[in-house]
Chains A and B, each alone.
Chain A
């Protein structure tokens, strides 16, 4: 058996997918007739492939090569998609890879040859030997006696059983008929993921924008899928790690999708499924981009906000100077029909551009968006305003009683632009709070946020002061 296998292995590499012995078949990527990949956002892909494999009738071992390196072997399922019966008797995932050390371990007690080189003449001489042990160096029995140390280079007559050069799926199958069978394998793999990338191009006055969505697919799964039908699932799929189990499952036959060059969107369970209308090749270590959606003239608004984080309220030891704060610029739009949009937006990165006076598009900033269903508002932080400055000072602190105190704040906004602006100031609050007095109308957004809306004239300054009592 060993001899047959060793010889067979050599043959196998010479001509892939040749039937070696009566009971063993190796299948490689060249036999693929169809590949379907469904990719999820979170580093997970479902690969389904059909191969045409020449099988004998009865029991046969099939080695299924060229699967993703990051396969989750426990998720593999196999079945025949033609008639004639195919039973899975056993499934193994072999990952005992060949290394010189592992090889010698397996050769303990077996015969081999030691090739010795004469260091003076360079002549080689071969000696028969038996490997007695291989712990921290080999100990051999040769016709001359027991030997160890620099004994020569071992040459093994054949490969021991159960070694593989690539991680390999090995099935024990029982085929109902002889001949070319259509066998389908499905499995989950890591190392493949997709995300959406958006491009938002603002018009001259920042009133409308064109939105383009792209799918960016990243394949590091360790396999290339030629002419695959590509589908993407948008939504957060719950994954249990690392334990997946294999189970038989059934298919529902469906009409083939019309050939289109872009993606077709459909609802799937609580997610959205996008299927590419034509087959595509997904190569290993490739990043691929395909257009997902387009919308022109989406109504947008621009907003300037000063969002205070709690820690900034603390006064420093080197005090006395007001603290500078970022004036953040946001672009916001409704994902609705009325705004010129109204389609599910998968989570991803949105990049904002605008043309300069010469017409060249300039990059303004980027932000992440979540999975955004129809009729939800999208808020994108683009950057910080250059010409609007915000500074804050705590001007008074008074303790009313042990757990009640009053603080008075001053927020100055200076606008160095040619036009007037409105700046939203959002202040973090804690405990049971109440605004006792303020220069501008306070708005309670929620239990932890106080908001003011401050108009600031061109080249002007607006100073907000407010006093708040907090009971902790």
Chain B
């Protein structure tokens, strides 16, 4: 059966392929074609759009002189992390465009191992240094293998080369390149200069927003400053480029991991307002696009920061959160969080879409009279109309404890528990805490405290609002009822 499949496959394809009639051998394509090399010096225009997901779109135009007819154009100076299948090329002017017949991306890199591999069977010279006299001995012969412990066939016979031997040959084996080369075979309608426009995707370039949120606890107002941090890990270098940043979750196959880097912020200077002008924002498809209003340079392996937005006097709301799981065991360390919702409304002080990134939260430490960074929070893409939510896990202001008294599973499999909930305010001021209660198991029960039903937050969560004065502790008796 297997034989039949393999043979059928070969027979099938062969029978439908091109004729086997004797034909004059075709001369090799390569040497007949003239070659044009284009370098970054030919660039007349370059723009880059950076995405949040470790990907960028590079668009560049180069002025290249072509001759009439077919030729090979080598395009030097693209990103080393290019996605070759994304490359698109065209010429803009003239009635008749240049026809790009095919595009090649050659990555047969020139390495000692590849050279050795291709030099097998080739006459080489080898030099071995006599360790005592220092005299170099010259051998000539055919290289027989491609791995270290090279064997060479000389006039005298086969011998192994000394590990320190040096191998020389007259010419490089064909087809090896020092770095990947992008080239096209293209036909130009006439002699002359053409604008070649190329667009491609490259990995290794990413951006994120870095927010500095400085909250004034007395006035309940915050300063929000956002930076766009662009990280270029490629060898691509662009001068006088138009920089655009795309905010949104673009669908990518084999999605590269978002670049997670340590924040550069950490000094108070970062809380200063960034200089204008801010990049221009526009809607594009279901995303937002930011265009930096001046050309700039992005160097290879560089991290760059650009001011994105700034707003003062942003009102915010603070919520102290505590989560209790009504288990059959005593729980002393309950989960808490401090949630700050910054106003992010149309017509408000912060009236721009906020791209995903990180936020550094600063506030004044009354005890030392200085501004300190209290936390770092990741931020999702946040459209105008949704609050900018910064949630710090572990709220030092709130502490609590759950002490169960009786617990059982009823006949229907529901978990019935009675117990005591204690909650304390460690803070210096009056605090309102939102206490969330979860039961274990089937949530088809009701929850009561002091004879009253506790309202639900969702099918499996109940919500209790608790006002606590400074250092006050309150105790609630909780009963679950089927």
Contact = CB atoms under 8 A, between A and B. Distances in A.
Interface of A: 6, 9-10, 13-14, 32-34, 36, 38, 46, 48, 50, 52, 75, 77, 81-82, 97-100, 103, 112-113, 115, 117-122, 153-159, 165-166, 182, 184, 186, 188, 195, 197, 199, 202, 206, 212, 214, 216, 224, 226-227, 229, 231, 233, 237-238, 240, 243-247, 249-257, 261, 268-269, 273, 275, 278-281, 283-291, 304, 315, 317-322, 324, 326, 328-329, 349, 351, 354, 356-358, 360-368, 381-389, 393-399, 407-408, 414, 416-417, 459
B153 A315 contact: no
A152 to B, nearest CB: 11
B346 to A, nearest CB: 8
Question: What 9 A-B pairs are tightest by C-beta distance, nearest first?
Answer: A122-B132, A285-B108, A384-B249, A245-B3, A122-B133, A365-B251, A319-B461, A247-B7, A320-B457
Contacts of A319: 323, 436, 438, 457-458, 460-461
A381 B251 contact: yes
B204 interface: no
Contacts of A199: 88
A275 B18 CA distance: 9
A99 B146 CA distance: 9
B157 interface: yes
Given A216-B85, A251-B15, A360-B59, A286 B108 contact: yes
Nearest to A331: B285
B149 interface: yes
A414 B458 contact: no
A82 B11 CA distance: 19
B375 to A, nearest CB: 18
A9 B158 CA distance: 12
Interface of B: 1-3, 5-7, 9-23, 25-30, 47, 49, 51, 55, 57, 59, 84-88, 99-109, 120-123, 130-133, 135, 141-142, 144-145, 147, 149, 151, 153, 156-160, 174-175, 199, 201, 242, 244, 246-253, 282-289, 291, 323, 325, 335, 346, 353, 380-381, 383-386, 412, 436, 438, 442-444, 456-461, 463
Contact of B9 (A158, A237, A365): A237
A324 B386 CA distance: 12
Contact of A366 (B87, B103, B253, B436): B253
19 contacts: A33-B25, A36-B18, A81-B22, A100-B160, A159-B158, A165-B120, A226-B29, A227-B28, A247-B7, A253-B21, A261-B99, A269-B12, A287-B106, A351-B201, A384-B249, A384-B251, A397-B459, A408-B459, A417-B283
A398 B141 CA distance: 87
Given A10-B142, A365-B252, A397-B443, A251 B436 contact: no
B157 A155 contact: yes
A317 B284 CA distance: 38
Interface-centre pick from B120, B325, B461 (highest chain A CB count, 10 A): B461
A233 to B, nearest CB: 7
Contacts of A165: 120-121, 144-145
A239 to B, nearest CB: 8
Contacts of B10: 46, 75, 77, 186, 188, 247, 249
Contacts of B3: 245, 247
B103 A273 contact: no
B335 A318 contact: yes
A447 to B, nearest CB: 24
Contact of B248 (A52, A349, A383): A383
Contacts of A250: 11, 15
Given A100-B160, A326-B249, A36 B130 contact: no
B412 A399 contact: yes
Contact of A9 (B9, B147, B153): B153
Nearest to A247: B7
B282 A356 contact: yes
B461 A13 contact: no
